[in-house]
């Protein structure tokens, strides 16, 4: 089964609030974004946003240039249905972050919770990094959440790459400066404990 087929099946057979990574609000992400003091028209992309509520909360916070990218059409459809008329205020992109072409240096903030750690092959990670470097403005921000070293080796039936902040920085490369990092224990709806590493990087000029 290809990755897209896998995620379409995941989202079509389970409600969003039963998925392993579900949380009602991404509080760490929201707090860190708020502390950046970005203007309301800052360009923000949520990579793997799927059925996440981050876009809802960012709209409510006054951000007006939001993009949600996901591999699963089912996930995007779920989010659009939940948002109703507000969905028209967001750009929805269906595609693979390792292959999709994004506007060059158009993004002020790249957010990713629980996508990058599914890229377990070096070639996938390099393609992600190339897209990140192409899309993110110099001086722009990356907020990323991955499985920490203490987390399980698999999620949603797939293997994951686990990181500490130093390994994550080395994988992203010298174009990014680590600004802060933290760990957060996430408990899935099924009761499984997953330790997340959150990190904020700034793209160097």
Q: Quick one: pLDDT at residue 21?
A: 64
- Would strands 193-203 and 136-147 be described as parallel, antiparallel, or unpaired? antiparallel
Evaluate if residue 1 carries a pLDDT over 60.
no
Q: Quick one: pLDDT at residue 56?
A: 95
- Give residue limits of the domains in the chain: 3-12+27-175+196-203
Per-residue DSSP letter, 148: B
Does the pTM surpass 0.85? The reply is: yes
Unique residue bearing structure tokens 């990356």: 142
Question: What is the C-alpha to C-alpha distance for residues 53 and 35, in angstroms, rounded to an integer?
Answer: 19
CATH for 3-12+27-175+196-203 is: 3.40.50.150
Work out the average pLDDT over 140-164. 95
The confidence band for 39, taking pLDDT boundaries of 50, 70 and 90, is very high
Q: Quick one: pLDDT at residue 188?
A: 81
Evaluate if residue 41 carries a pLDDT over 80.
yes
Rg of the chain over all Cα atoms, to the nearest angstrom: 16
Query: Does 22 or 120 have the greater pLDDT score?
Result: 120
Give the largest CA-CA distance in the chain. Answer: 44
Question: What is the C-alpha to C-alpha distance for residues 201 and 168, in angstroms, rounded to an integer?
Answer: 10
């Amino acid at each position: 089964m290809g990755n897209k087929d896998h995620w379409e099946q995941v989202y079509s057979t389970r409600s969003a609030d039963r998925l392993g990574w579900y949380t009602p609000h991404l509080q760490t992400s929201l707090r860190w974004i708020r502390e950046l003091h970005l203007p309301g028209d800052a360009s923000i992309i949520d990579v793997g946003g799927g059925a996440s509520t981050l876009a809802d909360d960012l709209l409510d916070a006054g951000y007006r240039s939001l993009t949600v990218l996901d591999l699963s059409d089912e996930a995007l459809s779920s989010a659009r249905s939940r948002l109703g008329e507000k969905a028209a205020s967001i750009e929805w992109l269906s595609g693979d972050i390792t292959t999709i072409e994004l506007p060059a240096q158009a993004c002020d903030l790249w957010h990713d919770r629980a996508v990058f750690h599914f890229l377990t092959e070096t070639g996938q990670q390099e393609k992600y990094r190339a897209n990140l470097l192409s899309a993110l403005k110099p001086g722009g921000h990356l907020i990323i959440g991955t499985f920490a070293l203490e987390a399980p080796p698999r999620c949603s039936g797939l293997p994951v790459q686990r990181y500490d902040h130093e390994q994550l920085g080395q994988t992203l490369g010298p174009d990014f400066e680590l600004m802060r990092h933290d760990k957060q224990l996430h408990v899935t709806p099924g009761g499984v404990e997953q330790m997340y590493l959150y990190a904020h990087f700034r793209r160097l000029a």
